[in-house]
Chains A and B, each alone.
Chain A
Amino acid sequence: MQTAKTLKEYRKELRESLDNEFLREAMDKFATAYPVSRANAFRGLDEKAMIAEVADAKDAAAKNMDALYAQFKAEAEKRGVKVHMAKDAAEANEIIARIAKNSNCKKIVKSKSMTAEETLLNHRLEDDGLEVIETDLGEWIIQLRHEGPTHMVMPAIHLSRYQVADLFSEVTKQKQEVDIQRLVKVARRELRQHFATADMGISGANFAIAESGTIGLVTNEGNARLVTTLPRVHVALCGLDKLTPSLNDALKSLRVLPRNATGQAITSYVTWITGANECKAAADEKKEMHIVFLDNGRRALAQDPLFSQVMRCVRCGACANVCPVYRLVGGHKMGHIYIGAIGLILTYFFHGKDKARNLVQNCINCESCKSICAGGIDLPRLIKEIRARLSEEDGAPVEATLLGKVLKNRKLFHTLLRFGKFAQKPVTGGTPYLRHLPQMFMKDHGFRALPAIADKAFRDEWETIRPRVSNAKLRVALFSGCVQDFVYPEQMKAAVKVLASRGVEMDFPMDQSCCGLPVQMMAERQATIDVARQNVMAFDAAKYDYILTLCASCASHLKEGYPNILAGQQDMAGKVKLFSSKIIDFSSFVHDVLGMTADDFKGKGEKVAYHSSCHLCRGLGVVEQPRALIASSGSEYCPAQEEAVCCGFGGTFSMKFPELSKELLDKKLNNAEATGATRMVADCPGCIMQIRGGAEKRGSRMRVGHIAELLAENLK
């Protein structure tokens, strides 16, 4: 559970996680094993279509939540169940405590329920003097340790077998051996007595099917079956988001949920409970059954035009499984109660902005979660939106406001950047890096060398280097982005050389400015909108076949982000649509549009590794083109481990969380160097800034640059 009050406190906690060697090793193993088992589980299936079906079904159910609740209640009550509605966590807990009291229950066995974690149900019941025993193995372990879960599906993933053996030794008052198979058997035996003697069983629900008043439970251990069978009273606590009209819709989610959660085609048990079943422990041999639906903000969320998609979450935990930040810091630091990307969002809505304020900063915007979400939720976008809301509600930090103000005025921004090259003189020592940053800037940032501002910006050279082309078949406008304009103009020049070799006519509209992603990451909503308008207006998109950028982050922001950002601007509707439709990244343009092949290049056989930038491979879905181009350039492409895992830059993220950025960068460099490559290329100047800075700092023999430079050097 994340409770730090300030970013400083939060960063201190993050450092503690980074120092936890067992956690780091366990998380690394998981992070590399999960994508393989997930891919196996989806092999031969149309994953995207399956996810889209879940999204559609859940969207429809969310819209219809009230009617589905009414139908469910009527059907379940026909079958002897009492259905309750709780407006918030406290009311849900109160209802369940009252049921326990009225039915004279003393001992309660529970199967896993994230919803009960959300309401902190156990605390309330224990305050009433009830004995509550978690029976899911992982939940039991963390209950005994008085901790919250660190994963929605594997709650005790942060603990080692040694810790569990010690814990079980305490519980049984017998020395237990450190052997997982035997520890599991100890739990089997120890918990069986509690099933046998409990008065009440509490479960969650993965589905609530309205047409039959049925709840569905998806489990592996079999404890939920005992919890819902043996005690005379059963209470199911269920979020309103679990309502679904029919078995058909439930089966659609069931096809994706276990595959996404644990790489299983289905869990060992899926249990469908309709009505108050036979129960020989009850006086009338009939179970006393209650279903408590929890609102806690869900009904309002379901009506929110943007955030209603949160209701699609099936609680598979996959957004944590693939999150590079979760991998570093674990669930106690990557969530309050709900964990991972969805956890950052749900914390804001279910547990309030005080709990969410620091957490939502801890997203590197790599889009890994979005690419695997079982409900197709645009998690990174929602996280950025929450940052913007928090910043509007609470006021933004000075640096964000300042950057926002500067970016809104393109001329001022570019003047400051030009001025930078004079101001930096004392710290570059004549090299392309900032060598002697004052201590106040360097603290925690020493893991990479930061680049200096170039002597001459690309925009200032454009008129002199611009190729004069006649009878061009293709007209392209260049969007440089700030980094390539002012820091790495040589990357732009390389691209110009490659395009010119094929007779492409190029323009560089001078009114273009920063794409605006950095201010969006810093939650400056108005500045984000203003620079988006500025850029769309700067390009007369109709004049060009393509608008080309060498920056994957810019490309993804211009193409996917702008239509959302400018959605409310009537006068921009047609313009932004046209603008975004023309955006293309460098590798796709050269490979797909120009169709350049090995015939165009003379190779030197250099060994080249590739970093697959987040916003290229996930943001734009560009995967094969750059790899094919490396090979075409006459170089030897050397595949590295985890090519598509974030390099740790994340724009402003690396400034806010340098300790996390460093860890990700180290992994990236280690994996690339292990291939024996002497050069590494990427499609994004931000990634290059990060990786090159790290390579420089550790004295790596690997050169790091843009793929355009590799191609330009090897042109025939």
Chain B
Amino acid sequence: MSATNDLARLMREKAEAVGATVVELKNLKEAFAYALDVCDKKEACQLLVSGCEEKLSDKAEALCETKQEKVVAAPNLSEDEYAAFSALCAERGVKCIREGLRGHLAGIDIGVAHADMAIAETGTCVIDSTSEELRLSSMISEIHMAILPKSRIKATAFDAEREVNALINTGTPRYTAFITGPSRTADIERVLAIGVHGPLELHILMLED
């Protein structure tokens, strides 16, 4: 048990060092509530897909106008989990989807996903992203949330190797993502800027299990 907590502590430290937000929650119910609280708080810019406040070319500007309401996507929740989460979303007036993400390429507010495991030494979440919907939700969301049971945290990439191999090498097509912090660049004058093509924020929701 204490080994699990040590790994969770290391995971938090390393993930926060690269700009991720880490919260520790009891269960999935709390995770859903947390996601929607964050969604509520980002209300101020809900109609602004990030970048739309800037002066853009006409074509890019047009894409901004396609977004009308707050959207949350959760493509890899189980049927029961999705039913519970979408009911909560409805209560708060947030649109919840798990497919048709290609219709939202201008951006969605929040993408929520179960992480398969994590690598503590680098603060990395490992997410099986073979489903295109899940992949897109982790790319076009402004805030991406990864739900991570503490027991799924490995110390190093080599400790995770066998299970990662099981994800990438099944004999069928697979798309597997290591995600560490939000999207970033330092391409202009080596100044760090967050949120280039991917999420502006990554939240890791660590659950007791």
Where the two chains meet, the residues of A that have a C-beta atom closer than 8 Å to any C-beta of B are: 26, 29-30, 33, 78-80, 135-138, 141, 154-157, 159-161, 164, 171-176, 180-193, 195-196, 209, 211-212, 214, 220-223, 225-226, 229-230, 247-248, 251, 254-255, 262, 264-281, 287
Q: How far is the CB of B59 from chain A (nearest CB, A)?
A: 5
Q: How far is the CB of B19 from chain A (nearest CB, A)?
A: 9
Q: In the complex, are the beta carbons of B157 and A274 less than 8 A apart? A: no
Which of A30, A226, A287 has the largest number of chain B CB atoms within 10 A?
Answer: A226
Q: In the complex, are the beta carbons of A223 and B197 less than 8 A apart? A: yes
Interface footprint category on B? 35 or more
Q: In the complex, are the beta carbons of A212 and B122 less than 8 A apart? A: no
Name the CB-closest residue of B to A76. B173
The CA-CA distance from A141 to B124 in the complex, in Å, is: 29
Collect the chain B residues with CB atoms within 8 Å of residue A182's CB.
54
Of the residues B139, B164, B187, contact of A141 by C-beta under 8 Å: B187
Q: In the complex, are the beta carbons of A229 and B190 less than 8 A apart? A: no
User: Can you list 17 residue pairs at the A/B interface with Cβ under 8 Å?
Assistant: A136-B187, A137-B196, A156-B187, A156-B188, A160-B189, A173-B57, A180-B189, A184-B185, A184-B196, A189-B54, A193-B60, A195-B197, A220-B185, A221-B197, A265-B123, A266-B180, A277-B130
Collect the chain A residues with CB atoms within 8 Å of residue B14's CB.
265
Collect the chain A residues with CB atoms within 8 Å of residue B158's CB.
248, 251
Decide if B93 is an interface residue (CB 8 Å cutoff): no
Name the CB-closest residue of B to A79. B173
Collect the chain A residues with CB atoms within 8 Å of residue B185's CB.
137-138, 184, 220-221
Decide if B178 is an interface residue (CB 8 Å cutoff): yes
Q: In the complex, are the beta carbons of A184 and B188 less than 8 A apart? A: yes
Q: How far is the CB of B21 from chain A (nearest CB, A)?
A: 15
Per the 8 Å Cβ criterion, residues 177-195 of B in contact with A are 177-191, 193, 195
Known: A26-B189, A264-B18. 7 other contacts (CB 8 A): A154-B190, A174-B57, A185-B51, A192-B51, A225-B197, A265-B123, A275-B173
Name the CB-closest residue of B to A172. B57
Collect the chain B residues with CB atoms within 8 Å of residue A154's CB.
186-187, 190
The CA-CA distance from A457 to B164 in the complex, in Å, is: 68
Of the residues A159, A262, A267, contact of B180 by C-beta under 8 Å: A267
Name the CB-closest residue of A to B135. A229
- Given the known interface contacts A155-B187, A185-B195, A222-B139, the answer about A190 and B122 at a Cβ–Cβ threshold of 8 Å is no
Q: In the complex, are the beta carbons of A192 and B180 less than 8 A apart? A: no
Q: How far is the CB of A522 from chain B (nearest CB, A)?
A: 37
Collect the chain B residues with CB atoms within 8 Å of residue A251's CB.
157-158, 161
Q: In the complex, are the beta carbons of A175 and B55 less than 8 A apart? A: yes
Q: How far is the CB of A134 from chain B (nearest CB, A)?
A: 11
Q: In the complex, are the beta carbons of A223 and B196 less than 8 A apart? A: yes
Collect the chain B residues with CB atoms within 8 Å of residue A287's CB.
173
Of the residues B50, B124, B191, B198, contact of A185 by C-beta under 8 Å: B50
Decide if B9 is an interface residue (CB 8 Å cutoff): no
Name the CB-closest residue of A to B53. A185
The CA-CA distance from A276 to B172 in the complex, in Å, is: 9
